[in-house]
Amino acid sequence: MSRTSVSSVHLVRRQVLTDRAAVAVVAVVVLVTAGLAAALPRALDTMRTDGVRSTVADTGPLQRDLAVVLFSPPAADRSGTSDAPLQPLRDFLADVVGGLPPVVAEQVGDPVFSVDFRDMAVAGTEPELPSPADNAFLELTVQDAFGEHVEYVAGRPPERISLTERADSLPADPGRRLPLAFTHDGLVEVAVSDRTADALGLQLGSRVRLAEASLTLDVVGLFEPLDASDAYWGFDTRVLRPQQNYSSILGVTYTGVAVVGEPAYPGLEALLSAARQPVTLLRLPTTAAGLESRDVPALVAALRQVEQTPVELPPPVPGVPSPGSVQLATDLEEVLTGHLRVQQASTAVVSLVVAGLLGVVIAVLALAGRLVVERRRHSLALALARGASPGQLRGLLAVEGLVLGVPAAVGGWLLAAAAVPGWGGTWGVVLPALIGLAPAVLLPLLGAPARLGAPARLGGQRSSRRGPRTVRNRRLRLAGEAVAVLVAVTTVAVLRARGLTAGTAGLDPLLAAAPLLAALAGALLLARVYPVPLRALTVALGRRRGAVAFIGAARASRDPAGGILPLVVLVLALATAVTGSVVTATTDRGARVAAAQEVGADARVSALGVDAEEAAAAADVEGVAAVAPLATAPAQLRTDRSTTDVTLVAADAAGLAAVQAGVPGAPAYPDRLWTPDPQDAGDAVPILVRDGVATPGTRLRLAVGSSTVDAVVVGTGPRDLPALRSPQPWVVADRGLLVAAGGDVPADSVLLVDLVDSLDPPDPEGGAAADGSTGAEPLAAVTEAVRAAVGTEAPVLTQAGALQRARGEPLVAGTLDAFAVSAVLAGALAALAVVLTLLITAPARGRLLSRLRTLGLSARQAQALAVWEVAPLAVAAVTAGVLLGVVVPWAVLPAVDLQAFTGGTGPPPFSVDVLAVVAIAGGVVAGVAVAVAGTVAANRRLRLGGVLRVGDDE
């Protein structure tokens, strides 16, 4: 190693060890921020992965599984000698799974199938069926892997079918073989769930005669599921419990499912061939247990390919041509596409604060680097005077920056990798690397010879003359500031005009840069503007007695503490933290509104056939203010020229208006909807329709079921009706008036509940319950009592429950947590910036106070001067930061699809949480106050002689 390199290494080592406190600040800032920068992509990846898995798991097998329904006999061994006659169907499904793209096959479990004979009316039983199950229907099914998911509580699994030739069968035709349905009776063993047996009055040994075939069912087993929530039951829960249906002719009917053993399938198919064709469901269960968020786009593309690729069906029996091809179908592609919208919205809103934090970090590193350079100003200027070239000084400072930054950044990355699981990707390396290299760039810039002063003025005064170079620099700075402001305004304007253009999960650079550029432009404008009122204040204070306020205002206006950089840090930190609080308030308000619109009242109960007695019992529950039962049915609005398909909502209109009072998006229900004016409507039924369907006063005909009544429009409402999700336009009519006019109205299926004020959910417009409490336990008791009164097993959906479910989504919860962390980090960086600023200005402050104290300045007056040094800067920065933190999201949030993030029927309304903004500003002010208090305490220990002997840099 050469003598020069040894000397350089020694010099760098001596430089680093000279001011350990200053370089430690740089290293710690790099370590912490690089660690956070490395942890952020990992945390986001974990959050997204948890989010997509939660979304897929909550979707349900009916929507997420790959499936196809066949209306032709499946491939099977029909010889009657096999215990597994549907094995050819299993082999076909295995081949289908083997042909799937790898990214899809990884998410697919073991395929299953069911073969059903549907909607077979029950003719009678032994013993007879008791009421109310007189109108009963049964479906016969052969379920693959059925025995693995049930436990028999009585009897045994079904196995066989017995065929008996009928004595009165048609005479044989030598030239033609008649189907078994015309010549034989069948007795097939079945098993039913214990709940189906209870509902239909069946028991072990019961025999059920079917009306449409010569078939009797022998109940040989009663079962219950090992896990009723298992996805195996997702496609048809009627296997576990019978389904209630309502018919205007039959009233309430029951449809249950009886399970047949697989060995009996060939005989069952032959016996029912004349009455029913089998319906085969093929399912490829899809899970997300191993799905990673980064694989979602590829999975969506592969699912599209699978849905577009035909699959040739095997022949029902060997030697017969294939019945054709089918295409697998799933809603998983749509679900994942919707999730990617949520993910994109999450990435967009997180980028709003992350870019600002990155700017704050760079500015704080610049302040820390400036502290290092200021501590070495004399030694660096002396090196210039002794012949060191500017390039050598810059190189020395760059090497020192690398020594400080790179090891600290690597340490932060290693800590993040050990502490935070997930996949960091490219940004997980690039961001820490940029932060680690920042000191190597900033230190040479801050320690440039032009900033150190000429050697001739080392111990003397800085020249106050403004030469051509100074004037040129001022002009360049003014031009640069103007360009920065113009770029910020242009960026925000372009972003509002075009919205997001990133990919389904990518980062929009323009959106990420807009808040940072706007805050930077605001800080530059503030640096130009805020000395103006201070100068006016200085003039006013000059006319008053006392020099402390005058000197403090004069110094603050002429030479702000630390220059423009501390102002940039404070404004950017405040704007970033306030932006996060505004986005949080907006999304929270949007989630509250979406929950209210989803439920449609304080609570909603779904139950088939809610009668007047049940509704009255629910209304009598303590804590319930009012109820409104309603029914929905497909209908048509007809005129002489057109017909419009609509969804009819038939309800007690007055009660509906009462329970939906205050619900966001609810229409204004006019009194004429339930108290018609004879002069206005005559004998026509008054109706409320969606905007754009018809205008008030329009007369038309309402067709529902088998009836048609005259109607008149008395009002219109918004596009979406709370509690109703229908792609068709809605129509609201009073049930009593509709029935009186001869309308065919189905049974009520939904009960909307209005709670008393003490149990009201949180205000959708923001805030807590009416009495300031959440009322979770009383609310649960009331909803359980309402459900018992209605007699349904369906859960009661409340606004509080819907809101909790929305907030519990991993993407939503993780994003809101990121905002909270960013606010704390921004506040900490702002406090650190104030401390660094005071450390940078400490020598000049010490000299000034020492001179003034020799002239008679008291200790209390010295404290006031220290406050004057920072207070104007802090007040201006807090004011500007809060304003920018509110204005910037107001300007850029319209470009973000927050509706995907919050749900609801439209973008969430812009909202500001005043208390959160005040808390953030108060925290920064408190941090500044603590820093000033520390400075005042340090000033008390100054020794006049020691300070004044150093010399005068001013």
* pLDDT for 721: 87
pTM over 0.85: no
The CA dihedral of 200, 204, 209, 213, to the nearest 10 degrees, is 110
The Cβ-side half-sphere exposure at 268, using a 13 Å CA radius, reads: 32
The span from the CA of 207 to the CA of 711, in Å, is 51
Average pLDDT rounded to a whole number, residues 32-48: 86
Alpha-carbon span 954 to 460, nearest angstrom: 8
Helix extents (H) in 456-563: 468-498, 509-529, 531-542, 548-558
Distance CA 577, CA 265 (A): 67
Using a 10 angstrom Cβ sphere, with 0-12 exposed, 13-18 middle and 19 or more buried, the burial of residue 417 is: middle
Reported as a single tens digit per residue, the pLDDT across 402-440 is 888 899 999 989 998 888 887 878 888 888 998 889 888
Q: What confidence score (pLDDT) does residue 767 get? A: 46
Q: What is the mean pLDDT of residues 366-387?
A: 77
Q: How does residue 248 score in pLDDT terms, banded at 50, 70 and 90?
A: low
Q: SS3 of 67, please?
A: strand
Backbone phi and psi for residue 773, each to the nearest 5 degrees, phi listed first: -115, 165
Which is higher by pLDDT, 51 or 247? 51
C-beta atoms surrounding 578 within 10 Å:
30
Give per-residue pLDDT as tens, 298-335.
999 999 999 998 988 888 777 667 777 888 999 888 88
Mean per-residue pLDDT for 733-756? Answer: 84
**Higher-pLDDT residue of 874, 699:** 699
Torsion angle defined by CA atoms of residues 429, 430, 435 and 439, in that order, rounded to the nearest 10 degrees:
110
Could you read off the pLDDT of 905-940 as tens digits, one per residue? 778 888 898 998 998 888 888 887 887 777 667 656
List strand residue ranges (DSSP E) for 85-149, in order.
112-126, 136-143
**Which stretch of 2-6, 429-433, 658-662, 875-879 has the lowest confidence by average pLDDT?**
2-6
Higher-pLDDT residue of 239, 795: 239
- At 608-629, the pLDDT tens digits run 667 777 888 888 888 888 888 8
pLDDT at residue number 506: 55
Measured torsion, CA atoms of residues 392, 398, 399, 404, in degrees rounded to the nearest 10: 150
Greatest alpha-carbon span in the chain: 135
Confirm if 89 and 75 have CB atoms less than 8 A apart. yes
- The dihedral built from the CA positions of residue 83, 89, 92 and 94, taken in this order, carries a sign that is negative
- C-alpha 407/C-alpha 777 separation (Å) is 53
Give residue 505's pLDDT.
45
Judge whether residue 954 has pLDDT over 60. no
Q: Is the preceding peptide bond at 127 cis, omega within 30 degrees of 0?
A: yes
Q: Which two tokens stand for residue 100?
A: 């799937």
Whether omega for the bond prior to residue 132 falls within 30 degrees of 0, making it cis, is yes
With the C-alpha atoms ordered 506, 509, 514, 520, is the resulting torsion angle positive or negative?
Answer: positive
- Measured CA to CA, the distance from residue 602 to residue 781 in angstroms comes to 14
pLDDT at 158 over 90: yes
What are phi and psi for residue 656, nearest 5 degrees?
-60, -40
| Whether the predicted pLDDT of 806 surpasses 90 | no
Distance CA 685, CA 675 (A): 10
Read off the amino acid at residue 439. Answer: P
Q: What are phi and psi of 749, to 5 degrees?
A: -125, -5
Token output for 901: 């993030």
Q: DSSP of 617-684, one letter per residue?
A: HHHTSTTEEEEEEEEEEEEEEE-SS-EEEEEEEEE-HHHHHHHTTT-TT-----GGGTS--HHHHTTS
Question: Using the 8-state DSSP alphabet, how is residue 176 labeled?
Answer: B
Geometric angle at alpha carbon 446, from 531 and 361, rounded to 5°:
75
What the block records as the tokens of 873 is 């800067």
The answer to whether residue 557 scores a pLDDT higher than 90 is no
- Which residues are registered as beta bridge partners of 210? 122
DSSP 888: H
Q: Identify each DSSP E strand in 264-347 by its residue range.
A: 279-284, 311-312, 325-326
Q: H or E element: which one contains 12?
A: helix 3-18
- What DSSP state is assigned to residue 153? E
**Contacts (Cβ under 8 Å, ≥6 apart) of 274:** 179, 181, 182, 213
CA nearest neighbour of 307 among 571, 547, 462, 104: 104
**233 pLDDT more than 60:** yes
Share of the chain above pLDDT 70, in %: 82
Tell me the residue type at 690.
R
Mean pLDDT of the chain: 79
Three-class secondary structure of residue 136 per DSSP: strand
354 membership: H or E segment, kind and range: helix 332-375
State the average pLDDT over residues 386-392. 75
Report the distance separating Cα 150 and Cα 167, nearest Å: 39
Angle of the 859-892 helix axis to the 332-375 helix axis, nearest 10? 150
Q: Give the pLDDT confidence score for residue 5 in this predicted structure.
A: 47
What is the amino acid identity at position 844?
A: A
The tally of CA atoms less than 13 A away on the side-chain side of residue 390 is 12
- DSSP 8-state symbol, 500: -
Q: What is the pLDDT of residue 732?
A: 92
d(CA 932, CA 838): 8
Closest CA to 279 of 121, 92, 118: 118
Name the most confidently modeled range: 129-133, 223-227, 370-374, 385-389: 223-227
CA distance 184 to 164: 5
> What's the token pair of residue 671?
């009194």
User: CA 497, CA 491: separation in Å to the nearest integer?
Assistant: 10
Q: Which segments within 736-888 are labelled E, that is strand?
A: 748-755, 797-798
Do you know the residue count of the chain? 954
Better-predicted residue by pLDDT, 697 or 951: 697
| Token pair in block for residue 882 | 């809060």
Q: Give mean pLDDT, residues 447-465.
A: 46
Report d(CA 447, CA 460) in Å as an integer: 19
CA–CA separation, 182 and 169 (whole Å): 6
Quote the crossing angle between the two packed helices 548-558 and 859-892, to the nearest 10°. Answer: 40
Q: For residue 733, how far is the Cα from the chain centroid? A: 36
Report the pLDDT value the prediction gives residue 470, as an integer from 0 to 100: 62
Quick one: tokens of 327? 């295409």
Written as six digits, the tokens of 323 are 């019945």
Q: Please say whether the beta carbons of 636 and 643 come within 8 A.
A: yes
Q: For residue 155, what pLDDT is reported?
A: 92
Q: Which amino acid, residue 221?
A: G
- Show the tokens assigned to 490: 């242009």
Cβ neighbours, 10 Å, residue 494: 12
For 141, other C-beta atoms within 10 Å of its C-beta total: 22
pLDDT of residue 773: 43
**DSSP 8-class letter at 265:** H
pLDDT digits (tens, 9 = 90+) for 491-520: 877 777 766 655 444 567 777 778 788 888
Nearest to 286 by CA among 68, 64, 53: 64
Nearest by Cα to 555 from 537, 569, 572, 567: 537
Q: What whole-number distance in Å separates Cα of residue 920 and Cα of residue 914?
A: 10
Cβ burial of 247 (10 Å; 0-12, 13-18, 19+) is exposed
Please, what is the Cα angle at 360 between 354 and 363, to 5 degrees? 145
User: Which spans in 563-624 are helix H?
Assistant: 564-599, 612-619
pLDDT at 132: 44
Per-residue confidence band for 151, with pLDDT thresholds at 50, 70 and 90: very high
Burial status of residue 588 (CB atoms within 10 A of its CB: 0-12, 13-18, 19 or more): buried
Query: Which range is least confidently modeled, 153-157, 710-714, 854-858?
Result: 854-858
- How many Å is the Cα radius of gyration of the chain? 39
Q: Would you place residue 143 in the very low, low, confident or very high pLDDT band (cuts 50, 70, 90)?
A: very high
